[in-house]
Amino acid sequence: MSIYKYDSTQDELIPLAGQGKAEYGASTERKGDITIPATTAGNFQTVNVVFAQAMPDNDYAVVIDEGTDTWAHCTTNVTNKTAAGFTVFFLNVTATDAPQMTFKYRAFKLYTDTEYNSLLDLPDRVSALETVNTMTVTKQGNYINGTNFHGSKVGKVATIEINGDTGASIPWEQITTVGVATGCATPLTELKCTADMLSVTTGYDPNGNAITKWIPPYCRAWIGTEGNIQVFLANPGASDTSYTGNLFIGGSYITQS
């Protein structure tokens, strides 16, 4: 792939980028005139150039146009480059005196179009992201029955699923670690947590019969930066000392690596 622009002054196409990668170009430029005082035969001059606006740093190139009528009278060299400017060393190499001369300079900083190059590499990166890898989720204790602890990972995005459809035994109102995933979260990430509704006595009728309602417990789950999958369940008024129903935990998050 190549990119060109049309130069009407030269009636030709000027290449901007090609060969599958973005070429170098000028990201910022300074230009102007340099006046060299008259110089006797065999002697030299040094002229300091100060930019009206400083460069980002001293990593830039300088091109000096010495002109066709003065080329044989001198050699020039750019030294002491700083963000603020540079120094031109002028040497009269002839056996005759050189008159005052004015040169033009262009100072420009080079760059590589990393955004464009990144787009060229995108198919390979997308292909890598499409690869689904198994991620280990290890059950902790016997808080959730069964062995349905699953995990997968695509790039740095992990997904876990804990299917506790055969019951649980989780103490009420305390943080409990039910599993550990090899893909640690960054940062701590909330997970979806679903618990069964519980039959709770909410009062009594005039005849002394209990009035019950089905109420879900307060349920939260999350995964931390060490990979611990934790839950917190609050009793809505049930008579038992721990949650024994089914519990489902799942969600996606960004991993540390």
Residue 228: give its domain's CATH number: 2.60.40
Based on the domain organization, do 159 and 212 belong to the same domain?
yes
pLDDT given at position 220:
96
Based on the domain organization, do 185 and 103 belong to the same domain?
no
Tell me, what CATH number does 74's domain have? 2.60.40.2080
Based on the domain organization, do 136 and 236 belong to the same domain?
yes
Answer yes or no: is 35 within a domain: yes
Q: How far apart, in whole angstroms, are the C-alpha atoms of residue 241 and residue 173?
A: 10
Answer yes or no: is 117 within a domain: no
Answer yes or no: is 6 within a domain: no
Answer yes or no: is 193 within a domain: yes
Q: How far is CA 62 from the centre of its chain?
A: 33
pLDDT given at position 129:
59
Helix (H, G, I), strand (E, B) or coil at 98: strand
Based on the domain organization, do 245 and 139 belong to the same domain?
yes
Helix (H, G, I), strand (E, B) or coil at 96: coil
Answer yes or no: is 127 within a domain: no
Answer yes or no: is 51 within a domain: yes
Residue among 132, 163, 140 at smallest CA distance from 150: 163
Return all residues near 172 (Cβ < 8 A) that are at least 6 apart. 233, 234, 235, 241, 242, 243
Based on the domain organization, do 42 and 92 belong to the same domain?
yes
Give the tokens for residue 33.
């005139």
Q: Could you identify the residue written with the tokens 């789950």?
A: 221
Residue among 96, 22, 29 at smallest CA distance from 56: 29
Amino acid in position 62? V
Based on the domain organization, do 193 and 246 belong to the same domain?
yes
Based on the domain organization, do 143 and 32 belong to the same domain?
no
Based on the domain organization, do 244 and 151 belong to the same domain?
yes
Give me the average pLDDT of each 10-residue run along the chain (257 residues): 53 52 64 89 91 90 76 80 93 85 87 64 62 90 95 92 95 96 92 93 90 93 95 90 94 91
pLDDT given at position 238:
81
Answer yes or no: is 220 within a domain: yes
Based on the domain organization, do 151 and 238 belong to the same domain?
yes
- State how many domains the chain has: 2
Which domain covers residue 90, as residue numbers?
28-108
Based on the domain organization, do 143 and 198 belong to the same domain?
yes
Based on the domain organization, do 102 and 136 belong to the same domain?
no
Based on the domain organization, do 80 and 147 belong to the same domain?
no
Boundary residue ending a domain (108, 142, 169): 108
Answer yes or no: is 50 within a domain: yes
pLDDT given at position 14:
55
